[in-house]
């Protein structure tokens, strides 16, 4: 246990808050709790039962193979688990527990080990639809190979949709029109065109009374009904390279104990694709908006000093190849890390930024998704900047509100990528231009920096997908609390 606190504080905190040799810091004791041995429990779920509805239950009647994880692969864009023996091969393996989209897998394990699980769907207060294996099969086929053969693509997508349609035929579903059902959408975007449209329609219309957990995307930007049902929508983080914030991310190399401001010798860091960084439509909309912002940020901040390491990762823009370990170690040596949207509202790196102890800096508009907008301490463990002079990446007359009679999509109408955190306007910092962001960060005192690093060290535990509910807070305990209180 002593090692737990040492590793956590080594990466983030000032020696003054370490406490005595034999006692951990009292602030951390108040933040991390290990409950008594036994079945895990979540306070908000007291007296409630959760049933896990695995889509494999419908495999035989649907004539589809039972879905089982057989191996893990790394897709061309982001870590996804693969489940088919003939899935895209020749790719670097990654443990399922640390795959970016494995949130539903961790949630299932937490429910199974808790006192809230029931094997009787009729006695359940909440039904968690576990479609992750089928979803991952679909995603791996589409993302792993890119342009997959049509027959193969439809096989995975149709198997998923067949199982989901069976859910709506259950008497338990008809009892409350799905209001007690929970779905976890683990990827920021949909997959192929045909099944993707059907899946989107299913999630936006058929299941509009259900609770939806979505990974790093403003689902309200896709489904009209979500605008009226914010209380049943939870934006969750992607899984980071580690499920334990007391330990470094995978392959991190710890140095000798040093003052945290010595360990973090960079002021600001960013790596991410900036292509395409030009608008492809006359009306200046489309999936390029986040990339245009990234490119504009790099152009504005790239010459702000040797301690500002802000660059595009695209080789065609002159960048050298960097593997994920190198990027993660760079985050760990930086005080602040930019969180910017890309071709979706997800930055894809938010969880890694927090686990590496880097202070997240959101810049917009538009803004990257903010997981757990109510539960995470964005007001004191991050910075959110609103840049007035956004003409280089946005039209000056772009709308920042729902027109009411038009359903936007997260790709075609990216000006709806607004900040998610509650009461953001109260602590948002308004600046005239991008260079003012660096000027503001440079003006922060050492005492304030150490406080910020400490707050990140504590708050990042909320992004850790722990299967053990006896340790709180965690991503899984927050998700289950919301499942039981909506």
Tell me the domain boundaries of the chain: 2-34, 43-239+478-485, 260-461
Q: Higher pLDDT residue, 226 or 127?
A: 127
Q: Higher pLDDT residue, 410 or 206?
A: 206
Q: How much of the chain, in percent, has pLDDT values that exceed 70? A: 68
pLDDT of residue 328: 83
How many CA atoms lie less than 13 Å away from 375 in the CB half-sphere?
22
Average pLDDT of every residue of the chain: 76
Spatial neighbors of 37 by CB under 8 A, at least 6 apart, are 470
For 455-466, the pLDDT digits (tens) are 998 899 899 888
SS3 (DSSP) at 168: coil
User: 416: which 2 tokens?
Assistant: 């709806």
For 397-435, the pLDDT digits (tens) are 554 444 444 544 444 455 567 778 878 888 999 999 999
Residue with tokens 């035929």: 169
Q: How far is CA 172 from CA 207, 217, 353, in A?
A: 14, 29, 41
Q: Which of 467, 460, 486 is nearest to 31 (CA)?
A: 460
pLDDT of residue 416: 60
The secondary structure element, H or E, covering residue 440 is: helix 435-442
Cα separation, 139 vs 480, whole angstroms? 25
Q: Predicted confidence band at 327 (pLDDT cuts at 50, 70, 90)? A: confident
End-to-end alpha-carbon separation of the chain, Å?
A: 35
Q: Higher pLDDT residue, 198 or 213?
A: 213
Q: Predicted confidence band at 2 (pLDDT cuts at 50, 70, 90)? A: very low
Cα separation, 43 vs 46, whole angstroms? 5
Matching CATH number, 260-461, of 3.30.450, 3.10.450, 3.40.50, 1.10.3470: 3.40.50
List the single range of 16-20, 73-77, 212-216, 391-395 with lowest mean pLDDT.
16-20
SS3 (DSSP) at 328: helix
List the single range of 233-237, 336-340, 388-392 with lowest mean pLDDT.
388-392
Q: How far is CA 280 from CA 262, 275, 312, in A?
A: 44, 11, 19
Q: Higher pLDDT residue, 107 or 389?
A: 107
Q: Predicted confidence band at 246 (pLDDT cuts at 50, 70, 90)? A: low
Cα separation, 333 vs 363, whole angstroms? 21
The DSSP code sequence of 374-404 is TTS-HHHH-EEEEES--TTTS-TT---S--S
For 361-383, the pLDDT digits (tens) are 999 888 898 999 999 999 999 99
pLDDT of residue 394: 73
Q: Predicted confidence band at 280 (pLDDT cuts at 50, 70, 90)? A: low
List the single range of 16-25, 144-153, 431-440 with lowest mean pLDDT.
16-25
SS3 (DSSP) at 57: helix
pLDDT of residue 232: 84
User: 342: which 2 tokens?
Assistant: 């890309």
For 78-105, the pLDDT digits (tens) are 444 444 333 333 334 456 777 788 899 9
Cα separation, 12 vs 257, whole angstroms? 11
Query: If you average pLDDT over each of 65-74, 215-224, 469-478, which comes out highest?
Result: 469-478
Q: Identify whether the C-beta of residue 257 lies closer than 8 Å to the C-beta of residue 300.
A: no
pLDDT of residue 3: 38
């Amino acid at each position: 246990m002593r090692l737990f606190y040492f590793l956590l504080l080594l990466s983030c905190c000032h020696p003054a808050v370490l406490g005595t040799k034999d006692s951990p810091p009292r602030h951390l004791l108040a933040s991390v709790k290990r409950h008594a041995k036994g079945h895990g429990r979540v306070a908000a779920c007291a007296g409630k039962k959760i049933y896990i509805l695995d889509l494999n239950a419908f495999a035989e009647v649907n004539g589809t193979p039972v879905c089982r994880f057989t191996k893990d692969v790394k897709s061309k864009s982001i870590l996804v688990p693969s489940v088919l023996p003939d899935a895209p091969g020749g790719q670097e393996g990654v443990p399922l527990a640390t795959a970016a989209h494995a949130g539903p897998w961790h949630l299932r394990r937490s429910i199974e080990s808790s006192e809230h699980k029931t094997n009787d769907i009729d006695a359940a207060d909440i039904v968690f639809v576990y479609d992750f294996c089928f979803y991952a099969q679909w995603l791996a086929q589409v993302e792993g190979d890119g342009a997959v053969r049509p027959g193969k693509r439809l096989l995975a997508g149709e198997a998923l949709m067949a199982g989901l349609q069976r859910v709506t035929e259950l008497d338990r579903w008809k009892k409350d029109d799905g209001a007690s059902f929970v779905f976890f959408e683990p990827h920021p975007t949909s997959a192929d065109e045909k099944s993707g449209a059907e899946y989107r329609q299913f999630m936006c219309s058929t299941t509009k009374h259900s609770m939806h957990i979505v990974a790093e995307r403003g689902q309200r930007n896709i489904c009209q009904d979500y605008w009226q049902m914010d209380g049943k929508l939870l934006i969750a983080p992607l899984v980071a390279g580690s499920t334990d914030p007391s330990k470094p991310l995978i392959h991190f190399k710890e140095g000798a104990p040093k003052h945290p401001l010595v360990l973090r010798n960079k002021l600001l860091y960013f790596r991410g694709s900036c292509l395409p960084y030009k608008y492809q439509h006359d009306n200046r909309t489309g999936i390029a908006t986040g990339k245009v912002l990234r490119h504009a940020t790099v152009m504005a901040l790239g010459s702000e000093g040797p301690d500002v390491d802000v660059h595009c990762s695209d080789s065609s823009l002159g960048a050298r190849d960097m593997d994920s370990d190198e990027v993660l170690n760079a985050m760990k040596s930086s005080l602040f890390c930019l969180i910017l949207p890309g071709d979706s509202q997800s930055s894809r790196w938010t969880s890694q930024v927090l686990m590496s102890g880097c202070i997240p800096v959101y810049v917009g508009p538009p803004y990257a998704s903010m997981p757990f907008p109510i539960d995470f301490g964005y007001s004191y463990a991050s910075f959110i900047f609103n840049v007035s002079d956004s003409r280089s990446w946005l039209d000056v007359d772009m709308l920042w509100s729902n027109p009411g009679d038009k359903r936007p999509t997260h790709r075609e109408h990216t000006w709806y990528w607004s900040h998610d955190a509650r009461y953001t306007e109260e602590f948002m910092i308004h600046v005239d231009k991008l260079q003012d962001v660096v000027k503001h960060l440079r003006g922060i005192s050492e005492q304030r920096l150490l406080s910020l690093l400490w707050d990140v060290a504590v708050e990042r535990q909320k992004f850790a997908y722990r299967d053990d509910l006896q340790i709180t807070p965690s991503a899984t305990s927050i998700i289950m609390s919301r499942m039981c209180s909506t």
